[in-house]
Structure 1
Amino acid sequence: MKTPRPSQRLETLSELRNLKMARSAHAYVRGSTVQFYEWLHSQPGRRLPRGPAVWICGDCHAGNLGPTGDSKGRIDIHIRDLDQTVIGNPAHDLVRLALSLATAARGSDLPGVTTARMLEGMMRGYESAFEGNVDEDPTRPPQVKASMRSAVQRTWKHLAYERIENTKPSIPLGKHFWSLSRAERAALKALCATDDVHTLVTSLKGRSKDDKVQLLDSAYWVKGCSSLGLKRYALLLGVGAGDDQEFCLLDLKQAVAAAAPRVPKASMPRDNGRRVVEGARHLSPGLGNRMIATRVLDEGFFLRELLPQDMKLELNQLSQSEALLAAAYLANVVGLAHARQMDLATRAAWIRDLKSCHTRTLDAPSWLWSSVVQLVGQHERGYLEHCRLYALHH
């Protein structure tokens, strides 16, 4: 495949993003974050309860949760994409997750009553994270256990075949990886020679701080959906020397201003790369501690090493029982991320506020149900119109 020149990337990436979003209503929800934020600023969105000011994901759809590894080799399910993280209202994460789960249920042809039951299960899972020890491991449904088993068994070869399509120390250009400009190549080489990158790479379990770190190859990375159009680079590094040399793959992603609403006067880093890393360390410490903020060609970025265990959780063709278990479990993961930032009194007050909004006919807040109903309708219309505009002639 002939890759576009750096000056021609934006047009190609925009077309790819539009086609990805046309694949399904669930894909459209994942890629249409701006539409969700516009709704939050609307009259219904402003009626949501105001929860405690904590770091939130900001784009808390199901695809942004999944298995992640930490620097000690431990694996768990966490929030794994934090581009939009801000100090904000935790209710926003709940509505975004509920919309994602409702769309996944519709994509699996589940009856409408399942969506109501998923929201009830979601709130039970979320609320339970505040009622016990926030460091306890929640019970995992079978679908998540299968993802965890896959994550535990994955090795560098799995990551290489999946991400770069070979296990040799090079990145083949093609569909997923595009060529760099001279300025980009020089800037990435300089970045990989810094002490910050050396410390990040050698901090992983089993590596020595005395190991040599060498950039072997780099490329522009075509990855994600809502992030297509932002600058993103894959960096293939060698760690150590001779027969003991290991390979590692770094993901360098441009950090831009968050569109997610933040709490007024919230004290956050002004640099967007530092904002993302700070949010990650509060919401998903195992992941956040594997990340650094940096600048490349005078723009903000954040950098992390991809581990074989870092996987996206896919919710495809769910049965009713799987949908209910997944809703409760994923909401519990989000609840733990929120709860660890609150003291006991703040946790109790937040859960009391949530439970006071439950109704006789639905064991979940009435505002959550009405928000999901409205958002599903808006996104269904938006998805069909998107398909007409961008996918009809492809």
Structure 2
Amino acid sequence: MTPPHPSARLPHLTHLRNVKMARSAHAYVRGSTVQFYEWLHSQPGRRLPQGPSIWICGDCHAGNLGPTANTKGHIDIHIRDLDQAVIGNPAHDLVRLALSLATAARGSDLPGVTTARMLEEMMRGYEQAFEDKPDEAPPRPAQVKASMRSAVQRTWKNLARERIENARPTIPLGKHFWPLSRKENAAIKTLCASPEIHQLVTSLKGRSNDAEVELLDSAYWVKGCSSLGLLRYAVLLGVGDKADQEYCLIDIKEAAGAAAPRSARARMPRDNGKRVLEGALQLSPALGERMIATRMLDHGFFIRELLPQDMKLELDELSEIDAVHAAGYLARVVGIAHARQMDRASRKKWIADLQVSRSKQLDAPSWLWTSVVQLVGKHEEGYLNHCRRYALEN
């Protein structure tokens, strides 16, 4: 593929986004955050419980959880994408995760009864996170174990082959990386010479605070789905002396306004980059400590170094047992992120609120089941209409 000129990116990015969202119903769910909240709040009889105002992921689908390393190299499963993070209602994260899990189950051709069991296990896992000792984690499901094994074994060469298709210190232009404009090039050079970037890349375990940091290459990064169309850059840096230089890949991502509704009178940073950073520090401290926020090209950005251990959790071809176990485990990860922001009284009240509207037949709240049933239908309709438009355009 011949990369487009910087002034002609948008039509290509829009086409790529449409292609990705047409691949499957689950891919459509991941790329339709704005529609999710429009549909959620248009549902008849919608009565979600109103939880305490805390930082929520805002786009809590299964693909936004996965193995993440901290500055010392320790790896665990965390929320790993905080673009939509706001101070809001934690019930929104639960509905978003439940919809994602239900769609993944349908994609694996699992029966509807499995979806019911997944939501039951999801609520059990979430509520377990609010117990007095939430860090005593249960055994990891098979899918999570596989991701963790891969994460632990990954090296810079794995990251280079996956992200830049080249273990040498250059970023090859082509399908995933496009050329920069002169203005973008100058802005990135200025940014990479700043003390903030130096501190970011030298903060990881084993790097000297006095190490030299050199800009080796940079490009516009065609990555993600819902973020396609926003400004995003890949920057390759060299750390240390040239004789023993270590490479690192920096992800510079524009922070746009969040679609997730925020709580009334919630006090959050007005700058979107700082909002994402604060959300990360609250929900996934291991990731937030590896991030900075800045302004560049009149936009807010958040920046992090990508580590080989940072991986997306894929829930493809699930068995019934794996699907149920994964639902409980991932909900528990989200629950820990929520619970750490609440005092004991708030945790107790929130768990009591979640117990309302449960029947003897289904150990999941009726508001969650009803929301998921309605949203699965809406997303299926939206997905098929999206595919029809895409087919007509081509």
TM-score range (shorter-chain normalised) is over 0.9
TM-score, with structure 2 as normaliser: 0.98
CA contact (8 A) 1:56 1:87 kept: yes
2:129 alignment partner, SS class: helix
2:331 alignment partner, SS class: helix
The worse-fitting range, judged by mean Cα deviation, of 69-78 and 42-51 is 42-51
Partner of 1:185: 185
Distance in 1, Cα, partners of 2:369 & 2:152: 36
Q: Which amino acid aligns with 1:384?
A: L
1:235 alignment partner, SS class: strand
Partner of 2:56: 56
Distance in 2, Cα, partners of 1:342 & 1:135: 15
Partner of 2:14: 14
1:316 alignment partner, SS class: coil
Does 2:100 correspond to 1:100? Answer: yes
Distance in 1, Cα, partners of 2:45 & 2:204: 42
Distance in 2, Cα, partners of 1:389 & 1:11: 16
Distance in 2, Cα, partners of 1:41 & 1:253: 29
Q: CA deviation at 1:242?
A: 2.5
Q: Which amino acid aligns with 2:36?
A: F
Which structure 2 residue ranges, 5 or more long, are not aligned? Answer: none
1:267 alignment partner, SS class: coil
CA contact (8 A) 1:138 1:332 kept: no
Q: Which amino acid aligns with 1:304?
A: R
Distance in 1, Cα, partners of 2:267 & 2:379: 33
Distance 1:393 1:265, change over 3 A: closer
1:67 alignment partner, SS class: strand
CA contact (8 A) 1:22 1:391 kept: no
Partner of 2:351: 351
Aligned length: 394
Q: CA deviation at 1:139?
A: 2.5
Report matched runs for 1:186-335 at 5 Å. Answer: 186-335=186-335
CA displacement 1:90-115 (0-9 Å, x = unmatched): 00000000000000000011001111
TM-score, with structure 1 as normaliser: 0.98
Q: Which amino acid aligns with 2:72?
A: K
Distance in 2, Cα, partners of 1:220 & 1:271: 22
2:292 alignment partner, SS class: strand
Report matched runs for 1:16-35 at 5 Å. Answer: 16-35=16-35
Q: CA deviation at 1:256?
A: 1.1
Q: How much identity, in percent, do the aligned residues show?
A: 75
Distance 1:244 1:25, change over 3 A: same
Q: Which amino acid aligns with 1:19?
A: V
CA displacement 1:147-183 (0-9 Å, x = unmatched): 0000000000000000000111000000000000001
Distance in 1, Cα, partners of 2:55 & 2:257: 15
Partner of 1:113: 113
CA displacement 1:21-68 (0-9 Å, x = unmatched): 000000000011111111233254852110011100000000000000
Report matched runs for 1:142-181 at 5 Å. Answer: 142-181=142-181
Distance in 2, Cα, partners of 1:267 & 1:45: 30
Distance in 2, Cα, partners of 1:236 & 1:104: 35
Distance in 1, Cα, partners of 2:73 & 2:380: 41
Q: Which amino acid aligns with 2:110?
A: L
CA contact (8 A) 1:44 1:371 kept: no
CA contact (8 A) 1:13 1:228 kept: yes
Distance in 1, Cα, partners of 2:297 & 2:388: 38
CA displacement 1:111-152 (0-9 Å, x = unmatched): 011110000000000000001323333421111011000000
CA contact (8 A) 1:71 1:286 kept: yes
Q: Which amino acid aligns with 2:318?
A: L
Distance in 2, Cα, partners of 1:3 & 1:356: 54
2:130 alignment partner, SS class: helix
Distance 1:362 1:50, change over 3 A: same
Distance in 2, Cα, partners of 1:141 & 1:37: 30
Distance in 1, Cα, partners of 2:373 & 2:170: 48
Q: CA deviation at 1:344?
A: 0.9
CA contact (8 A) 1:121 1:325 kept: yes
Q: Which amino acid aligns with 1:190?
A: T
Q: CA deviation at 1:197?
A: 0.4
Partner of 2:391: 391
CA contact (8 A) 1:89 1:262 kept: yes
Distance in 1, Cα, partners of 2:134 & 2:27: 32
Distance in 1, Cα, partners of 2:209 & 2:332: 36
CA RMSD of aligned residues (A): 1.1
Distance in 1, Cα, partners of 2:249 & 2:16: 24
CA contact (8 A) 1:134 1:340 kept: no
CA contact (8 A) 2:46 2:367 kept: no
CA contact (8 A) 2:40 2:371 kept: no
Which structure 1 residue ranges, 5 or more long, are not aligned? Answer: none
Distance 1:371 1:71, change over 3 A: same
1:98 alignment partner, SS class: helix
CA displacement 1:173-218 (0-9 Å, x = unmatched): 0000000000100100000000000000000000011000011000
Partner of 1:81: 81
Q: Which amino acid aligns with 2:85?
A: T
CA contact (8 A) 1:19 1:391 kept: no
CA contact (8 A) 1:82 1:280 kept: yes
Distance in 2, Cα, partners of 1:138 & 1:278: 28
Distance in 1, Cα, partners of 2:372 & 2:32: 15
